[in-house]
Every structure is written in C-alpha cells, then in structure tokens.
C-alpha cells in the first residue's frame, strides 16, 4: 500500500522505524526485533539505509519481509551521498523487484573523509527525487525535513525553499527529524505551509531512554533539548530503568500533544527496540481510537 493512500484516510496513523543489521552476525537479532515490532501492526514501517553503505545491503530485504511476512506496509530509505548513480539505479530496481511501493529519498550525511560529489553522484535529495520519478514513476516518494533547520543550511528560510524544491520535484510527504519541543514543530508547520508546501508532514518522535542515547542524538541532529527534558535527564539519567520509563512517558506526552493539536500522522523512531514501541503503543491504545 502506498503511504500517500494511508495518509489520505481520516484517521490517526502511527508508523515505526527500524534499522538493518550492522553486521551479518546481527541478522537474527534484528529479524526478531522487526517481527515483534511488526506484531504491533503499525500503519507502516520504514527501514533505514546506511549512508556509508555499511548496512544498506539489508534494507530492501527487510522492507520486503515486513510487507510479505507481516502484512505491514513498508518503506525503504535510500540515500545517494555515497553511491554512484549506477548503484542508486540498481537499488531502485531491487525495490521494484521486491514489490516495494514506498521510498524515502535522502541525500545522506556526507562522510568526513570522502571526496564529494564525484561526477557520477547526486548532490542533493531533490536530484534523487527527480531520478526516481523518471525511472520508477510508480513509487510513492517521501523526503526528510528539519523543524530546527538542517545543520548545514545557511538559513531556515533557505532550507524551507529546498524542501519546497523536493516537493515540487515529486516528494509526496515529509518525515521530520527528531525534535523535543512541539512548539518548534508547530512553528515549522506554519512556516512551510506559508511557503506553499502542502504535503502531509509526519513528525518524527524519538523516545530517548538513556543519557548516552541523548548525547548521540544531539551529535547526529544538532537538536535542542528543552529544560523540561534536561531536568528529567538530570534526575533519572543515572537509573537506567527509571530513565527508560521517563523517556517513554516524554515521547508519549509529545505524541498526545501532537494528536490533541490535530496532527494525525506520527512516526516513531522505534530503533529496533520492541519493548519501547510496545510501551508507547499501549500508552496510546485508547487515544488513537478517538
């Protein structure tokens, strides 16, 4: 099922994200997590793609498994930053053969030590979106956006213009980078709607359940943690079980606030942790019926 079709329905949708194994030895463990997460029957699941090529080999396979074995619509991420156009083409052909209907078209992070871009590489996600439209026009294409602005962006206004270019090129919905203050998201929504971007935007909610995870998330996305979250970390950060509970509660609270403010489609970075996905889904079991 195409994600745009799901998003057109007048109902709350919850989607969950997983990532492929980093090493061949972890395949079993990841498959188990994916199975348990799929058992929650989310509206769709997305599978990340390793920018360095490290974990990309399993992305299509996992997305196919989710759809075929667990009957959950799936989306495969695809980055273009460390791939030649030929590799991107092959990856898209694999998706088509596997019957994958949804792709999240991304640039990826530029590896620090790489010469970029090479002549046979795409520079930005917008070029990937145009290419997919050309060679796999049947695919439903999503893209990324950044409520706090992409870390490399010269300004938020320019970043939004680049998002608009992606949408004009054929990107049919957007998923946001993680954020921890919903007001930042509401402000972003206002600004992109003003800029003429009308496609659905799925807020990406990251449950932070440890101090180490918070540090990694900050390094990765440059996100700002509000005082309320910092107080939680300060009080519970050194007690793993308490911090887990508090992190789940914080993510749940963010989701409830989004739903209460009319945001119907929520994406959760469940990060191969079924116990966290289960806890959040349980917390929302009645709420999502309204």
What does the binding site for ligand FAD look like in residue numbers (CB under 6 A)? 48-49, 51, 77, 79, 104, 106-109, 124-126, 144, 150, 152-153, 159, 162, 166, 175, 177, 204
The CB-of-239 to ligand FAD minimum distance in angstroms stands at 30
- What is 56-125 written as a DSSP string? GGGHHHHHHHHHHHH---EEEEEE-TTS-HHHHHHHHHHHHHTT--EEEEE--PPPTTS----TTS-SSH
Within 10 A of 9 (CB to CB), how many other CB atoms are there? 11
Which CB sits closer to ligand FAD, 243 or 270?
Answer: 270
The CB-of-196 to ligand FAD minimum distance in angstroms stands at 16
Which CB sits closer to ligand FAD, 146 or 236?
Answer: 146
Which CB sits closer to ligand FAD, 48 or 217?
Answer: 48
23 DSSP 8-state letter? S
Angstrom distance (rounded) from CA 52 to CA 195: 33
Q: CA 192 → CA 43, 161, 206, 231, 242, distances in Å? A: 25, 9, 22, 31, 37
Residue nearest to ligand FAD (CB): 51
First-to-last C-alpha distance (Å) of the chain = 24
Within 10 A of 84 (CB to CB), how many other CB atoms are there? 14
The CB-of-272 to ligand FAD minimum distance in angstroms stands at 13
Let me know if 290 is exposed, middle or buried by CB neighbors in 10 A (0-12, 13-18, 19+). exposed
The CB-of-190 to ligand FAD minimum distance in angstroms stands at 19
- Nearest to residue 279, comparing CAs of 180, 225, 207, 205? 207
The CB-of-236 to ligand FAD minimum distance in angstroms stands at 27
Q: CA 84 → CA 39, 58, 88, distances in Å? A: 36, 18, 6
17 catalytic residue (yes or no): yes
Q: Which of 17, 101, 127, 172 is catalytic?
A: 17
Which CB sits closer to ligand FAD, 110 or 211?
Answer: 110
Which CB sits closer to ligand FAD, 73 or 244?
Answer: 73
* 266 beta partners: 14
Which CB sits closer to ligand FAD, 153 or 249?
Answer: 153
Angstrom distance (rounded) from CA 5 to CA 141: 12
The CB-of-53 to ligand FAD minimum distance in angstroms stands at 10
> Known catalytic residues?
17
């Amino acid at each position: 099922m195409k994600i745009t079709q799901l998003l057109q329905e007048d109902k709350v949708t919850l989607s969950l994200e997983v990532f492929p194994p980093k090493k061949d030895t972890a395949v079993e463990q990841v498959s188990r997590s994916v199975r348990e997460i799929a058992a929650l029957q989310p509206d769709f699941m997305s599978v990340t793609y390793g920018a360095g090529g490290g974990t990309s080999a399993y992305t299509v396979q996992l997305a196919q498994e989710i759809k075929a074995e667990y009957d959950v619509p799936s989306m495969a991420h695809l980055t273009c930053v460390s791939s030649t156009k030929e590799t991107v083409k092959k990856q898209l052909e694999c998706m088509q053969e596997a019957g994958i209907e949804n792709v999240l078209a991304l640039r990826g992070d530029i590896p620090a030590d790489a010469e970029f871009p090479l002549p046979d590489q795409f520079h930005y996600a917008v070029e990937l979106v145009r290419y997919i439209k050309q060679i796999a026009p049947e695919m439903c294409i999503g893209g990324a956006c950044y409520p706090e602005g992409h870390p490399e962006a010269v300004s938020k206004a320019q970043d939004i213009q680049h998002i608009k270019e992606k949408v004009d090129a054929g990107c049919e919905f957007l998923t946001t980078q993680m954020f921890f203050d919903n007001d930042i998201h509401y402000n972003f929504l206002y600004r992109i709607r003003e800029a003429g971007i009308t496609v659905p935007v799925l807020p990406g909610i990251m449950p932070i359940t440890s101090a180490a995870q918070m540090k990694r998330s900050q390094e990765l996305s440059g996100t700002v943690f509000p005082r309320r979250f910092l107080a939680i970390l300060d009080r519970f950060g050194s007690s793993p079980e308490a911090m887990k509970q508090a992190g789940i509660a914080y993510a749940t609270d963010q989701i409830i606030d989004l739903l209460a403010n009319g945001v119907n489609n929520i994406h959760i970075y469940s990060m191969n942790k079924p116990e966290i996905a289960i806890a959040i889904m349980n917390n929302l079991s009645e709420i999502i019926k309204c």
